Amino acid sequence: MATIFRPAREADVLPITELVNRYAAQNLMLPRTEESVRQTLADWLVAAEDRPSDDTPPILGCGALIPLTDTLAEVRSLAVDESQQGKGLGGQIVLYLVQMAREQGYHQICALTLREQFFIRLGFKLVDRWSISPKVWQACIYCPKFHRCDEVAVLMDLVENPAGVANPLDRSAGWNSLLKWKEWQPLRLAYKKSLPLEIGAENGK
């Protein structure tokens, strides 16, 4: 049966939440609540079976395109049903999200991932994770792995030489400019607060 890719709708809220949270339970992504999905429903894309009926078919995969700035969007909560693993569905969802980002006028699209090669094969490049917008890290404050994050950042330019965007590979320039942004302050505080507990735990205290 064919697979269709479409904007998420109200009937998809619970299936999206359940699918994402199955992976969150494995520490592979952040969990989502039904309310958080419902509030951002316009940002979600789902893959589903193309059934000739009025019933909403079970979703096979999902992903969200989250605005970070006027020129930068993030691929978030990319999840594919276990029955569809290895069939290329995740890559198709990402490419649909990339096209959505282009149509909406974004200059760049990024993601935080444990599978950088997956994104590199789709045309993304590795970048310094601290060089992208601090808004990408705001949800990470609530992650138990915040202070020992093993995710990497990937980025794709959607326009040639995007105007006003610092070179993401320039670590020092990106770091120094981003430190001036007020958005970094809660992240820095949360990071500092988490360090003594983690250091003590590692030392057996």
Note the pTM of the prediction, 2 decimals.
0.73
Q: What pLDDT score does 129 carry?
A: 74
Cα Rg for the chain, rounded, in angstroms?
Answer: 18
User: What's the CA gap between 164 and 186, in Å, rounded?
Assistant: 25
Helices (H), 10-83: 13-24, 34-39
- What confidence tens digit (pLDDT) does each residue in 89-118 have? 999 999 999 999 999 999 999 998 888 999
Q: Judging by DSSP bridges, how do beta strands 125-127 and 108-113 pair with one another?
A: unpaired
Buried b (16+ CB within 10 A) or exposed e, 91-113: ebbbebbbebbeeeebbbbbbbb
Q: What is the DSSP letter of 58?
A: P
Residue with tokens 């995740």: 90
Is residue 45 within 8 Å of residue 63, measured between CB atoms?
yes
90 CB burial (10 A radius; 0-12, 13-18, 19+): buried
| Residue of 177, 178, 185, 124 lying closest to 153 (CA atoms) | 124
Dist CA 142 CA 162 (whole Å)? 32
pLDDT at 188: 43
Chain centre distance of CA 100: 15
> What single DSSP character describes residue 91?
H
Please give the pLDDT value at position 171.
Answer: 37
Which H or E run contains 175?
A: helix 171-178
Residue 11's Cβ-count burial label (10 Å; 0-12, 13-18, 19+) is: exposed
Q: Is 184 helix (H, G, I), strand (E, B) or coil?
A: helix
Domains of the chain: 3-199 (3.40.630.30)
Low-confidence ranges of the chain (pLDDT < 50): 164-205
